[in-house]
Structure 1
């Protein structure tokens, strides 16, 4: 193992042992900011919440954005690692929940730190690189928050944005999918009633929203949504069995290949909810499907093949992202993380356990090769009229 990989593995293990929920990523943001600053980046924190932006410039040339995510999940880790997370946090609903990096964002951040070091140590490129640690990807609202806080106005509009995600493929393998990510939405379903003690309810003086929500959820679960997949992920109502709550809530996820299919499913759920008194549907977040820019992707994929060997094409899955909201030409790929022996587990579960060293080796190399390929081929990928000199700030695109 090289000194670089050993250092990044230690950094990743620290992040892994101290995960933070979406919108609560203060420690994680601070640790990333320290690493980017030590590599020589101009660092700004607090962008769109806990967002971090590191900026490296080598004169005129394209603006390339490399993005990784800060947040973790409300999932109990069951990996058995010596540095496994034992962290808990308070959820938006006020409940104490376990927290872990069950989606690999700790690895993404370590790769971002690694490529910052490589780029900062080299003068063999021209342009500007923005290294972005984005908050709140799991809640699908972090990208929008950074954009609303002037990400492009303050730091420059990227000509190309790059991102990667670990996957259950063999460790070190690079894969492309079409589309790279699905469209999706998160919904909050609320049924309101008349709360009160069960003695009031027994006297039919209180409308209990719990049976109504249960019936509505059962109805939704039994409905075919054609092109979309609808999943009920959370249910919550009340605190005591002898007190009828005034509100019962459910959290739903909608996934589909296109945003039109997501919107049709949301409209159908809203119609179903309209048949139940006191039911309300709120769209908490909504993101389009990913789309890799064909010209930039051809350049980046060629660079990956040269740097890492075999690159494969995988079928598109149901995972969705807010990365498409950045609205610029982009390339998104997957980095295999499964160990040679044993199982990696499935992302978003407590048993997800990537093999860190080969994953970091491939992830840093892939991100570095991609950035250099874009910076070295501006005539193929970007419009020369959009080049920005050192210290310049682009207009939002």
Structure 2
């Protein structure tokens, strides 16, 4: 009987209003969604190149009954379903993969490769689980479209490009997301977790992910022979001083209770043992929560770089150049009212033991821009556990013993992860949509 009820929903048949059909309906749709997931996993596309992916997402959403617009923010997809009077609710999933060569050994592992902008090639992989996000979102859209008699309002589903570059949300907004389509009162997104077991959810209000800036420092010098350093201005020595002093921004200038990170991820200089080069190049990632802390760190980097150059006796024409990349990712803020409403709905459906605090972290997510563009919009990003229970148990729950997001070995457990993702996203959407 329960299988008949689940199938009836997707066939558009009447179902008694009192029946709780969500779990059964999602279970009935899971084989389709897992097959979709495996297809997406085997055919990843990197940022702003999600051509085949966006076409498949558009086709799936049209088939579910949505009005679909493609090419929003280059390769973004916007799907809309109007269903009477009620709030406008936007659900978001991201589509892009990473230039990572997959090492999971899965039968559906990606074998795709790409030519890198700086030269060379790399494999391509959904190492951050965006294939899970898309599959879960298609399941959510299919279910909500099939149960229109249970909710009221306007549902907007967006499939966003280029989250990994921090430019997808920005470009969709710049392309008129809030002008060409109804502006949402509520925005909800999900992200898989490489540290939570399947069947569990992570959710908290306030800041949950960080501002992310990429900063390049071009350190200039006067090159020469390594045997005669007194005739040169050594950029390697200057860059080394800069690296050391940058650490004091966090350890000596910032309140110890203010989260922040300044990491020098790359230090490149020179060509040979006995040559003092003309330049050195530093690449930094800078992370914070508040706009004030972000500006403090950027200003501090510029001050330290110039100060160390002056101390090294660099003339004005050899002063280092600090370049802050345009593709900045703002901090993700979960608005308290909506987030606590969704958390209560999760707790009621899944049980308190399955709903965990979403521990704030220094990773970045451009989902943040949808609230930042208009702070009257309620916003929530939650986590779904993606780690196979036996794998989680074998690691003793220690995240350092599990493959992380962006790892070539990261492999979600598809069926329970997608099932939880759909059930959670439907629950979240219904908690803010109007009732019939």
Q: Give TM-score, length-normalised by structure 2.
A: 0.77
**Aligned CA-pair RMSD:** 3.1
Asked if 2 retains the 8 angstrom alpha-carbon contact of 1:76 and 1:350, the reply is yes
State which drifts further: 289-298 or 164-173.
Answer: 289-298
Corresponding residue of 2:303: 271
Q: Cα–Cα, structure 1 residues 359 and 238, in superposed 2: closer, same or farther, change >3 Å?
A: farther
Of 291, 302, 326, 2:370 maps to 326
Post-superposition Cα deviations, 1:258-277, rounded to whole Å, max 9, x if no partner, equal 33222222221122222444
Q: Which string of whole-angstrom CA distances, capped at 9 and with x for unpartnered residues, describes residues 67-118 of structure 1?
A: 0111122323222211222322233434423322111111001111111111
Q: Deviations over 1:205-261 (max 9, x none)?
A: 997866654553454357635431112334556899999987654432222243322
Aligned partners of 1:182 and 1:257 also within 8 Å: yes
1:378-397 counterparts in 2 under 5 A?
none
CA separation of 1:222 and 1:265: change in aligned 2, threshold 3 A:
same
TM-fit CA distance, 1:41: 1.4
Contact 1:175 1:335 in 2 (8 A): yes
CA distance in 1, matches of 2:85, 2:273: 66
> Residues 92 and 156 from structure 1, CA distance in 2 versus in 1: closer, same or farther, beyond 3 angstroms?
farther
Q: How does 1:20-99 map to 2 (within 5 A)?
A: 20-99=45-124
Cα distance in 2, alignment partners of residues 261 and 57 from structure 1: 41
Residue 179 of structure 1 is aligned with which of 166, 184, 206?
Answer: 206
Q: Counterparts of 1:89 and 1:195 in 2: how far apart (Å)? A: 37
Residues 50/218 of structure 1: CA separation in 2 closer, same or farther (3 Å cut): farther
Instruction: Give per-residue Cα distances to partners, 1:300-328, cap 9 Å, x unaligned.
Output: 22222233223222432222212121122
Q: What residue is the counterpart of 1:153 in the other structure? A: 179
Matching residue of 1:363: 421
> Unaligned regions of 5+ residues in structure 2, if any?
1-25, 310-317, 372-376, 393-401
Q: Are the structure 2 counterparts of residues 301 and 203 from structure 1 closer, same or farther at C-alpha, using a change threshold of 3 Å?
A: closer
Counterpart of 2:347? 305
Does the C-alpha gap of structure 1 residues 266 and 6 become closer, same or farther in structure 2, counting only changes over 3 Å?
Answer: same
Q: 1:248 to 1:19 in 2, by over 3 A?
A: farther
Distance 1:376 1:91, change over 3 A: same
Is 2:336 the counterpart of 1:294?
Answer: yes
Do residues 252 (structure 1) and 284 (structure 2) align? yes
Q: Comparing 239-248 with 185-194, which one deviates more in the overlay?
A: 239-248
Counting matched residue pairs gives 377
Once the two structures are overlaid, the 10-residue window that deviates more, 200-209 or 329-338, is 200-209
SS of the residue 1:162 aligns to: strand
What SS does the corresponding residue of 1:273 show, helix, strand or coil? helix
Q: 1:10 aligns with which of 25, 28, 35?
A: 35
**C-alpha distance after superposition, 1:319-367 (max 9, x if no partner):** 2212121122112211111111125521122221211111101001111
On the 8 A contact 2:166/2:365 being kept in 1, the answer is yes
Mapping for residues 62-141 of structure 1, pairs under 5 Å: 62-124=87-149, 125-141=151-167
Between 303-312 and 107-116, report the one with greater CA deviation. Answer: 303-312
Structure number with greater Rg is 2
Instruction: Tell me, yes or no, if the aligned pair for 1:184 and 1:253 is still in contact at 8 Å.
Output: no
Deviation at 1:27, TM superposition (A): 2.2
In 2, the alpha carbon distance for the partners of 1:87 and 1:174 equals 31
Q: 1:140 to 1:4 in 2, by over 3 A?
A: same
Aligned pairs (5 A) from 1:160-171: 160-167=186-193, 168-171=195-198
Instruction: Report the TM-score when normalising by structure 1.
Output: 0.84
Q: 1:350 is matched with which residue?
A: 408
1:227-242 aligned at under 5 Å gives the runs 227=258, 228-235=260-267
Residue 312 and residue 279 in structure 1: after superposition, are their counterparts in 2 closer, same or farther (change >3 A)? same
